[in-house]
Amino acid sequence: MGTRILTVEDDERIRTAVKLALEDEGWQVNEASNGEDALLSFRREPADVVLIDIMLPGIDGFEVCRSLRKESDVPIVMVTARDDTHDVVAGLEAGADDYLTKPFAPKELSARIRALLRRSRATEQGVTHMSFGDLEIIPEEGRVMLGEEELHLTKTEFRLLVELASSPGRVFSREVLLERVWGYDYFGDGRLVDVHVRRLRTKIESDAANPRHVVTVRGLGYKLQP
Amino acid sequence: MSAAVETQNEAEPHSPRMGLRNRVIMVFVMGALLLSLLLAGVAFTLTRSNLLNVRESTGIGLAGRNAVLVGQQLNVEQANAEEILLDLSTPIGSIALLKVNGEWLLKDAPSFADTDIDAKLLAALDQGTPHQMRYKVGAIPYLVVGFPLPDADAVYIEAVPLDDIEETLNSLGIALFGGAAITVLAAAALGVWAASRVLSPLDEIGMAAAAIADGDLNTRLIDEGDRDLHRLTTSFNFMATSLQERIERDARFASEVSHELRSPLMTLSASVEVLSNQRANMPERAQTALELLETDLDRFEQLVEDLLEISRFDVGIVALQPSRFEVVEFVRQAIRLTGTETPITYDDDVDGTIIEADKRRLARVIANLVDNAAKYAGGASVLHIAVHDDEIEFAIIDDGPGVPESERLAIFDRFSRGLEGGRRGAGTGVGLGLALVAEHINLHRGSVYVTDRVDGQSGSRFVVTIPGAIK
């Protein structure tokens, strides 16, 4: 069983061309032409990665993303053909893990998908347990506990948290986090980090406005308070 | 139009007219000055004539009575004119003069002598008519009243000093002048207050306009219910709303165009990749065609990106995404992205310098300048970094033919292709590269220009300077 990708795109020609290119890369591809079909298809046959175009007829890409997030931690890549910075941030806040701007090279998309499916380095290094006050991370089981409660993090949020936790107190620049968590080179978009940190805080902090665990170091980046 | 706007922006207007604020203050001051001068003048004149009239009539009355008295007493046998004169009761300060038998007798005459009597007065008295005159002797003004005493063949004159009136008038004058000065000062203060009251809506409008110009399109004036300002407020807000709608419409249009252009490009890009995966199975002719397709698709994508980018600048929806990074490492990465091996050199103090800027835009600037050198000068020979205070300078130097002085500004215009214009090849761009460089650098409040090489050799030197160096 190969890795299955669900592409949600209303333009049939784009859908077909992308499907052909992705299949050439060795992925299995499911297709949906609108949001409703995408949700039905995902429930029938869950995918490993979902690719969602923002502009969809009926329920839009953001909404599809939010609905998927309620039931799954599957990696989601948003696709936008517009430049509005608003689209990018809104997509990430709706729960997307990464984004691409049309027209992208399918090879670039494949690289993104591979990065999203990677396991965290801590997991690979066999770190089994980390705890910071009421926050407990169990990398090998992919679980995070806040007190007695188990938190539902997406794969990317989890990798981001584990990366920060791998060196408590050390400041990670956006560039380093982009490279280690998303596999981006030097010119990755720092907003990916910022929005993910924001999302992470709403889950692991009791007061997201005054974070106790993931702290911003102005002009430098982020660190996990030991 | 833009030229006119720019000249207006050049600080203070240099017209000789005063500012509105000063004009309002001036009107208040001039009004107060005129009014208080007029009032002071009228008050002074009235008081003066009033005082003089009273003093004149009393002086004349008293002198007349004395003259009659002297006349009666002189007619008595063996009258002693001197004694008569001494016995006279004259008001304090007044001087009585009596001419009997051609000889002047004076009473209390320290300051007014018979020689001080005006000739006209004497002439009138010689005619036998009483006469009065007002004139100054030394510094003191006198009312001089003369009566002929024909029965005794004598002349009686009284000189009444008016200096006390003068003093009163002087103090009155000072008081009036002081009053006028205070009034003028008060008017000036009132003018300042009124001007600031009247002009405060203008200040608000000015601030609102500046905020809109700065990009805060939601700025509106608050209608405070002032009927006189209502129209101005309404039209200003209407203007702001129209402007906002227009910009939003333009932005929406740019966004739609962006979608419409990128969608087919997406299909093309994915399809070409599928084709190129099958390259090995293709006949040679098809491979050649595929290569052409790939190259021109890249070119077309770049053109669309550049056009969309420049239209975003036109619509005004671009914003910097600043971050801090180490400049040498950044340039290394930016050069790596261009796929060239352009050597990097830098001054000693550049090492370790952190800069705050929009990394992606700055990388585009460097890429476009390196591309430009590749197209027109056979490639960049070096990229040199220098730092001056808080400004960082990137110089891209090439060994090409250089840019003639007449074209050094024009090459930053859109679709300008310099000397090589018209020649197209696989590597030829679309002439937006340098225009975008200028836009990106403008957004950073920096500058870009092209000059000769400093070492005097053939070639050009493109210099980009932006602020934001931290250390």
Which of the residues in chain B have pLDDT under 50? Answer: 1-12, 419-428
CB B195 within 8 A of CB B40: no
Bridge partners (DSSP) listed for residue A144: A137, A151
Which of the residues in chain A have pLDDT under 50? Answer: none
* Neighbour count for residue A133 (Cβ, 10 Å): 11
Q: Which two tokens stand for residue B418?
A: 């310099």
DSSP annotation of B312 reads H
Q: How far is the C-alpha of B346 from the C-alpha of A95, rounded, in Å? A: 43
Q: How far is the C-alpha of A33 from the C-alpha of B273, rounded, in Å? A: 22
Query: What is the SS3 assignment for A5?
Result: strand
- Residue whose structure tokens are 């720092």: A190
> Taking CA atoms, what residue in A is nearest to B277?
A24
Nearest to A20 among B264, B270, B363 (CB): B270
Residues of B in contact with A106 (CB under 8 A): 269-270, 273
B249: Cβ–Cβ under 8 A, 6 or more apart, which residues?
Answer: none
> Distance (Å) from the C-alpha of residue B333 to the closest C-alpha of chain A?
7
Residues of B in contact with A191 (CB under 8 A): 321
Give residue B161's region: left, alpha or beta (phi > 0; psi -120 to 50): beta
- Looking at CATH, the fold of the domain delimited by B227-315 is given as Helix Hairpins (1.10.287)
Q: Which two tokens stand for residue B247?
A: 């910009």
B181: Cβ–Cβ under 8 A, 6 or more apart, which residues?
Answer: none
The pLDDT value recorded for residue A76 is: 95
CA-based R_g, chain A, Å:
17
A86 in contact with B, Cβ within 8 Å: no
Farthest-apart Cα atoms in chain A, separation: 52
Contact A14 B263 (CB under 8 A): yes
Residue B165 CA: distances (Å) to CA of B46, B54, B141: 13, 11, 9
Q: Where are the domains of chain B?
A: 17-213, 227-315, 323-470
Class of domain B323-470: alpha beta
B386: Cβ–Cβ under 8 A, 6 or more apart, which residues?
Answer: B346, B347, B350, B392, B393, B395
ipTM: 0.88
Residue B35 CA: distances (Å) to CA of A182, A225, B38, B70, B93: 81, 77, 5, 51, 38
Nearest to A187 among B308, B312, B363 (CB): B363
The pLDDT value recorded for residue A187 is: 87
Contact B262 A21 (CB under 8 A): no
Output the pTM of the full model.
0.67
Q: Which two tokens stand for residue B204?
A: 């608000």
The pLDDT value recorded for residue B4 is: 37
Residues of A in contact with B259 (CB under 8 A): 55, 81-82
Residues of B in contact with A219 (CB under 8 A): 324
Q: What is the pLDDT of residues B314-336, one digit of tens each?
A: 877 788 888 888 999 999 999 99
Instruction: Give the CB-side neighbour count of residue B45, counting CA atoms within 13 A.
Output: 6
Nearest to B460 by CA among B407, B401, B416, B393: B401
Do the two domains B17-213 and B323-470 of this chain adopt the same fold? no
B227: Cβ–Cβ under 8 A, 6 or more apart, which residues?
Answer: none
Cβ burial B117-140 (10 Å sphere, 16+ → b, else e): bbeebbebbeeeebbbeeeebeee
Give residue B64's region: left, alpha or beta (phi > 0; psi -120 to 50): alpha
Task: Identify residue A125 by its one-letter amino acid code.
Answer: Q
Contact A18 B266 (CB under 8 A): yes
Nearest to A217 by CA among B360, B444, B324, B468: B324
Q: Which two tokens stand for residue A27?
A: 């992925």
The pLDDT value recorded for residue B416 is: 66
Number of CB pairs, chain A paired with chain B, less than 8 A apart: 82
Q: Which two tokens stand for residue B320?
A: 């910097």
What is the torsional sign of CA B286, B287, B290, B296? negative
Q: What is the pLDDT of residues A177-209, one digit of tens each?
A: 999 999 888 888 888 999 999 999 999 888 888
| Cis amide bond preceding A57, omega within 30 | no
- Looking at CATH, the fold of the domain delimited by B17-213 is given as Beta-Lactamase (3.30.450)
Q: How far is the C-alpha of B300 from the C-alpha of B296, rounded, in Å? A: 6
Bridge partners (DSSP) listed for residue B104: B99
CA angle B69/B73/B74 to nearest 5° reads: 115
Contact B360 A11 (CB under 8 A): no
CB A17 within 8 A of CB B266: yes
- Residue whose structure tokens are 């207006």: B8
Q: Which two tokens stand for residue A83?
A: 């430049």
